[in-house]
Structure 1
């Protein structure tokens, strides 16, 4: 099973945002993705990071994945398959459609200090927006 660490970050709310995705294949191979997202809120950036990571996994044919996020909003929304705020419902709907195609999918909340790689990648992406 592959571990996928995700983080979305925003410099302002809304502000320039970025997604960080760290994929650990557990065989010594890792991938780092730092993706500028333009102007978004912090929660929107978190959802975008989730969607982009799901797409990366599907493109690579990964069917058994364990996602890690330090966003309780994302973790709870995926676990409950529900988000109250209508603004985030389309994001969750897209994510669940993708998640349902995996053979095995886990989402786990981790504290920020266990998600440093994805956080650094998201912060790098924020800086790339200005270029």
Structure 2
């Protein structure tokens, strides 16, 4: 089973943003700190999901267990529906990627259990601030 931890962060709302993606495959792991454009925290969370799904495509024949501390992202995947129309444009992209996996599960976890992905998302923001 592949464990996927995702998190998005913004320095402001909107503001500089980042996505953190942490993929665990047994003892092996991959970590991605992805710089995003200026956006809201919710947008960064959806971007983190998209990036995480893309990073897991090589493992699409495995069981993917995704963990997020975003209730909005969790609900969007579970219901395949995004209530807030401001973010609805993410849904077709999400579904297109989800449908490529044999088995995909998502679980909401408290922020304290998502520390690695959170750190990666914040690193992406810090990296952008250093460039400015």
State whether TM-score is above 0.5. yes
8 Å CA contact 2:7, 2:45 repeated in 1? yes
Counterpart CA distance in 2 for 1:114 and 1:76 is 18
* Runs of 4+ with deviation above 6 angstroms: none
- TM-score, normalization by structure 2: 0.94
* RMSD of aligned residue pairs (Cα, Å): 0.9
1:42-85 CA deviation, whole Å, 9 max, x = no partner? Answer: 00000000001111111x24332110000000001110111111
- Unaligned runs of 5+ residues in structure 2 are none
Displacement after TM superposition at 1:129 (Å): 1.6
Select between 12-21 and 76-85 the one with higher mean Cα deviation. Answer: 76-85
> Which of the pair is proportionally richer in helix?
2
- Unaligned runs of 5+ residues in structure 1 are none
Displacement after TM superposition at 1:36 (Å): 0.6
8 Å CA contact 1:38, 1:129 repeated in 2? no
Counterpart CA distance in 2 for 1:25 and 1:98 is 19
